[in-house]
Each structure stands twice: as C-alpha cells, then as structure tokens.
Structure 1
C-alpha cells in the first residue's frame, strides 16, 4: 500500500507542477492579467536597470533600491544566458527552470528510505499560492540554494556550509541555516566560501557593500507587523502618509522611527532566544537542522520592518525541507504558513489598494496574515525547544545525599 501511494504521488507531482506553473507563466507574461498592481514591473524596470549598470562592471551605487549582498548580481545578470529572449522573459524562464530543479531535488530526496514526498508537495502547492509575484522576484533562486544546503547538511557538511555562505551572499537570510550546524567543517567551509566569494566581488566590482547603508535606512513597510499600529492609528487621526520609499510602500510620519526601532528590538530579542536555544539544546536529530532554520527565518520574517510577499517563498522552501523528514515537529506551523501564503496573495496584489488605504478589508487581511505568522512562529519555537532542550530537573526531584553515618566513617588514628 505504501509503495502504491508513493507511485501515485510521484505521478501526480509533475502534473500539478505543470498546471500551476503554466498558470504562473501566463500571468507574468501577461497572457492573462492578474488583478491588482503589475507585479512584473520590478523585473521590467528595476531589475533590467540594474542589469544595465552591473553589465558595466559596477554595482548600482546611486540607487537606494539596491539592498542586496554582492552575489545578487549573479541573479540579476543571469538572463544574459538567454540572449535570444528579452530580459524579462529570460528572467521568468530561468525562475521557472529553478523551480523545476527544486521539484526534481525534493522528489529525488523524498524517495530515499525514511524520507517523505510531503516536502515536494509543500513546494508544489505552496509556490503558486503566492500568485505571479513569486516568478517576478529572484527569491526562488535563493531559496533553491538554501534548500540544497539543508538537504546536504546531514551527509555533506562541507557542501552545506559552502552553499549556506553562497546563499547568504545572495540574500543574507540563508546564513541562519548554520544555526544548528554541529560540524566544525560546515562552519569552516562557510567561512572559506564567504571570504572567497566576497573577495572576488570586492576586487572586481566597486560598491559591493553599498547595500548595507541602503538597508539600514529602511522604514516600516505597510505589510509588516509593526505597520498594523499605523493602519489602526489612521482611523484615530494619525497624521502620516503612505509613500514609496527605498523601493517599498512605507509609512512616513510621527512615531514611525519609534515603531521601526521596536521592530529591531523584537528582532534582537528573537536572536537572543536563538542563541540561548543553541547553548541549551542537547538532543539533535536529523531533522533538527531544518527545523531550527525554519524557526529562525520565521522569527526574523515576522519581526522584520518589511514583510514583502516574496519573503514567504523562503518559508515555503524551508517548510518543504522540514516535512521531508517524517520526524519533524513543524507540521502545524507549516500548515499555518501555507494558509498565510494564500492570505498574502489576497493582500498583495489582489487587494493591495485596500491595504494601502487601511480600510476594513485591508486591515482584516493584514491582521489575519500577520497573525498566522505570529502563531506559526510561537508554535514552531515551542516545538523546537521541547524537542531539543532537556527539562530542568526540579530541586525536589534530585537525589539527596544523606550525611554519612558516623559508624561508616573510617577510623582515625589518635
């Protein structure tokens, strides 16, 4: 029965993938128009503009929307591999090919003894839940590298470290994959790969680290957890505005800097919790590496000043790797993340005008999506802690050492 079920799953996976990805391609190629703002404008305008600058051998030093580590240049330049297509079409095709590579990887890995095809299904179902935005950003490429790193973690720690470092130089967050890495070779490999790739970009292209300043100056984006404060406050006379700032729609006005600082404080608290967990964790299983990475990225996504829709791709990828291990404790948080993905496509791009206007529908969608992320974060963190940190033994339960009986004391010479 198990073999029959596996065969049926293997047969349906490519069918569902083809149907859903065809839908995504039809939307990004504008054969059909998805409701809401044009999500492909980032590729047609911003990415292609960066491509023109990067092709000259320098980073976009005067563009505050460039907020990515140096290896991101490779993703932006990749459409040049398909010179027979225009830039945007080549980009969409490459993202689709990467998506297919992830499916192949998860299917191959899921057929191993003691593993599951649930991970492949989470990827196949989760990606289209985000709508066409997922194919109009380079996050699928980054997530593919991160997933390959986690899958390599148990058997090939050096490969895992190198892939995590490369992923971090594409978009920072894959550095958190190393959180539960116990092998020194993984850390050494990550350090060596990071230094090598960073050194090449620093020497070859000016402005490799300009992104640090641009990222530091970001405010509170309208879809973030902290933005809920201002969405509600607008109904009580808050004198602020919504404006395109640093490449995203942000709140500008009184108390925005304080809320942004509060978000940074929450992120710092999350980091402190993760450090404490790592110091106290004692029970490590094969799935712990993936579970810990999922929890860490959930925490940093939920507390961030910006929760762009494409951030959800990261969570889908890590969720897929978690449930690939049958023993993972992350099943409920994975379901919550998938539901949050569906709500995300409703708040952007479908009803984004309502979100920007802070009306009842926009507020409901944001409270629901961010609430699901908060719930998933708390449940996942609790499950990780219980599975890996041994409970403290109460003082009353500790064995008591009774004072020695005088008769048992060795005799001493007078």
Structure 2
C-alpha cells in the first residue's frame, strides 16, 4: 500500500471516529434531549431485566423485537464500572455511545476492506457525512445498532450469502427494517435458497430461545403494539395535519402509552388505518418489479441497490410513525449503492444527505417549536417529507430502468 493511500485511510478513520465523538458529545448539548430514549427508556429496561424485574418482550409486551434488548443489556454491563463516578444515567449514555461506535468501526473496517478502493472510500466519507448531518439521533437510538449489521450483511451478500442473511435477520429481530434488505437480497441474488434457509433457521432459533425464556403471548407483541399507534406528527402522512394545527383545526397530543406525539384531528384515524394496507401494497409492488427484473436477467450490482433503497423508502413514506431515527435506515442502502454501482448512486446519496440535515434541523434543533406548530419547523418538516417521497420515486425510477438481458 502506497504512502498516499495510507494517508487517505488514516484521514478516513480519523474523520469517522472524530464524527462519532462529536455527535456523541452533541447529544449532551443539543436541546430536546436527543439521547432521552437511551437514558429514560433503554437503561430502565435493561436494569429491570438484569435486576430480576420485568423483561420486556418476554414477560410483558414490547414495541421492539426481542433481540433489541441484547445491545441494551450489553451497554448496561459496560456501564457498571462507570456508575460510581457518573451515576447510572451518565455511565449508561457513555457506554451506549462506545458500543455504537465500536459496532460502526467494525462495519467501517469491513467497508474499507484490504484494498480500500475508491468506491469504498467514497462510501466511507459518505457515512461520516451522514452521521454528522443527522446528529445525535444517529447514535442514541436502537436503530443505530442495526446500521452496521446491515452494512456488513449487504457487503457480504455475494461472497458470504449465508452469513449475510444471518446478520440481516438478526438486524430484523432488533428493528424490523433490515427485513427489507433480506427481501431485496433474495429477489436480486443468485443464492436465494441458501439465504432463505439461513433466515428461516435464525428466526427459528430466536423463536425457540424466546419460548424457552418464557415468551409466548408476547412473542410477536412488537407487531400488535404497532397496530394501536396513532399518526405521529413527523410521519409523511401527518404533514397536512400539521398545517391544520397551525390554524387550530388539528391538535398535537402526547401519547403516554407509546411515548410519542401524535395528531388528533378529524380524518386522522382514517389516514392511520389506510397506511398499513398502503405499505403492504407499496412493498409488494416494488418487490414484484424487482422479481420481474431478476427473472429477466438483471445483474445483482444494478438491481440490488435501487431495490433495497426503494423498499426501505416505502417503509418510511407509508409509515404512521415518522421518528427522526428512521433516516438512519437510508444510510446503509446508499453506502451499498456506492460500492456496487457508484455512477448511479450520486443523486440518491445527495438526497439522503439532505434528508439527514433537514431531520437534524427539525429534531432536536427546532422540535419544541414544532410541537407548537410554528411556521419554520412545519416548513422544514414538510420539505423533509416531500424529499422522502422524492427519494422513493428516485428508487423506483432507478429500479424500473435496471437493464435486463435481451
């Protein structure tokens, strides 16, 4: 390796780790407590589980798939030596930031690989930029744990399909969205049966383990918990209601059951009820296009990236929840697009970076004003949500344009 390439790698690693340190610190500085979920929810959940109390997902229903508790428990164990100096909350926040940084560093090393070719280096710089622009929400949520799993899994799909499918399935048992990349990989890949069998085996293993731990009625509680949710204010479909809230024709209310702000307005329940069927239709339609392209001989590097991005974007656009951390879901697909097909990745990358920046301006920087339905944050959120629809359209357009064998 030449000295110039070594220097570029050192700069890449310095930027990547430096951005993580900066973003971790900003979580303590920015308004609206962007690391609130970690200290107010994850830490008590993990403390209760380790202390012999209720175990979320096992002894009581939970909003997340059960493996989401594992990184929370690891962070709790890592925090124990720091508790005498920083207290339980401060120690847990630092442990969580260290855990996420370590996982990201492993994935970053896999991304750069031995050669650190130009596409891989560009993907590395893009990841650092996305983290910086998105801010603390990129680290202080459970979604942050799934991003490195998806990056590694996506990179290994062609050479280690079974391991890749296992990683993506584990990611889906932490937060559901990595399942979209399993679908994309199975449709676009050539080793479909191996990936399907691996995903089924991992899922079966998780289910058996959960049964042995005592989860029966709570096994799929993360699905039933979602059915009762209202329309969250940041969801794409909530955008018109926010403008109504500015005139007093809609209200922003806090749900103590789901711990989030939701829309209360005439017609909001109808929109909420329509979103899940719309999501199913959108995902099936995108998957159908992908399967037709695959059957007609489309290559994996051209087909997988737009298919993955379109599926993930559809999950966000049609979701009744619009949490800011959902933007982390978009990072892995565009990184993989850069690696597999850099030329056609430019526009999606720019759009995702803009989405990260807009999301940070909304949460946490102007979130209090958004809760008061003030003009500037409503404009910012409207622009962000329109851009999400644009990204979905870009993904679908790219998918439709994927060449097939004559």
Q: Alpha-carbon deviations, 1:123-160, whole Å to 9, x = none?
A: 11111211112221122211111111111101111112
> Does residue 108 of structure 2 align to residue 127 of structure 1?
no
SS in structure 1 of the partner of residue 81 of structure 2: coil
Which residue is 2:37 aligned to?
42
Which residue is 2:46 aligned to?
51
Q: Alpha-carbon deviations, 1:304-346, whole Å to 9, x = none?
A: 1112111111111221121122456332112101111001000
How far did 1:367 drift? Answer: 1.3
Which of 365, 369, 377 in structure 1 is aligned with 2:380? 365
SS in structure 2 of the partner of residue 349 of structure 1: coil
Which residue is 1:232 aligned to?
243
Which residue is 2:107 aligned to?
102
Note closer, same or farther for the CA distance 1:6–1:285 as it changes in structure 2 (3 Å cut): farther
Q: Could you tell me whether the CA contact under 8 Å between 1:152 and 1:159 is conserved in 2?
A: yes
How far did 1:62 drift? Answer: 11
> Does residue 166 of structure 2 align to residue 165 of structure 1?
no
**How far apart, in 2, do the equivalents of 1:238 and 1:271 lie?**
33
Q: Could you tell me whether the CA contact under 8 Å between 1:322 and 1:328 is conserved in 2?
A: no
Q: Could you tell me whether the CA contact under 8 Å between 1:92 and 1:136 is conserved in 2?
A: yes
Q: Could you tell me whether the CA contact under 8 Å between 1:158 and 1:185 is conserved in 2?
A: yes
SS in structure 1 of the partner of residue 262 of structure 2: strand
> Does residue 75 of structure 2 align to residue 76 of structure 1?
no
> Does residue 11 of structure 2 align to residue 12 of structure 1?
yes
How far did 1:84 drift? Answer: 1.0
How far did 1:250 drift? Answer: 1.0
Which of 134, 138, 145 in structure 2 is aligned with 1:141? 145
Which residue is 2:260 aligned to?
248
Aligned residue pairs total 385
Which residue is 1:213 aligned to?
224
Q: Could you tell me whether the CA contact under 8 Å between 2:290 and 2:399 is conserved in 1?
A: no
Which residue is 1:339 aligned to?
354
Q: Alpha-carbon deviations, 1:9-54, whole Å to 9, x = none?
A: 32321222233222122223x3xx21x2011221111111111232
Which residue is 1:151 aligned to?
155
Q: Alpha-carbon deviations, 1:286-318, whole Å to 9, x = none?
A: 353233212210111122111211111111122
Q: Could you tell me whether the CA contact under 8 Å between 2:59 and 2:214 is conserved in 1?
A: no
**How far apart, in 1, do the equivalents of 2:8 and 2:386 lie?**
32
**How far apart, in 1, do the equivalents of 2:261 and 2:114 lie?**
39
**How far apart, in 2, do the equivalents of 1:78 and 1:222 lie?**
32
Which residue is 1:376 aligned to?
391
Which of 158, 168, 188 in structure 1 is aligned with 2:197? 188
**Structure 1 or 2: more helix by fraction:** 2
SS in structure 2 of the partner of residue 350 of structure 1: coil
Q: Could you tell me whether the CA contact under 8 Å between 1:110 and 1:120 is conserved in 2?
A: no
SS in structure 2 of the partner of residue 66 of structure 1: coil
**How far apart, in 1, do the equivalents of 2:224 and 2:167 lie?**
26
Note closer, same or farther for the CA distance 1:263–1:69 as it changes in structure 2 (3 Å cut): same
**How far apart, in 1, do the equivalents of 2:161 and 2:68 lie?**
24
User: How large is the Cα RMSD of the aligned pairs?
Assistant: 2.5
Q: Could you tell me whether the CA contact under 8 Å between 1:103 and 1:124 is conserved in 2?
A: no
How does the TM-score come out when normalised to structure 1? 0.86
Note closer, same or farther for the CA distance 1:162–1:239 as it changes in structure 2 (3 Å cut): closer
Higher mean C-alpha displacement, 138-147 vs 229-238: 229-238
Q: Could you tell me whether the CA contact under 8 Å between 2:245 and 2:252 is conserved in 1?
A: no
- Superposed, 1:55-66 pairs within 5 Å as 55=50, 56=52, 59-60=55-56, 66=62
Which residue is 1:200 aligned to?
209
How far did 1:216 drift? Answer: 1.2
Larger Rg: 1 or 2?
A: 1
Note closer, same or farther for the CA distance 1:341–1:198 as it changes in structure 2 (3 Å cut): same
Q: Could you tell me whether the CA contact under 8 Å between 2:230 and 2:262 is conserved in 1?
A: yes
Which residue is 1:22 aligned to?
21
Q: Alpha-carbon deviations, 1:98-137, whole Å to 9, x = none?
A: 222222221217625x853211111111112111122211
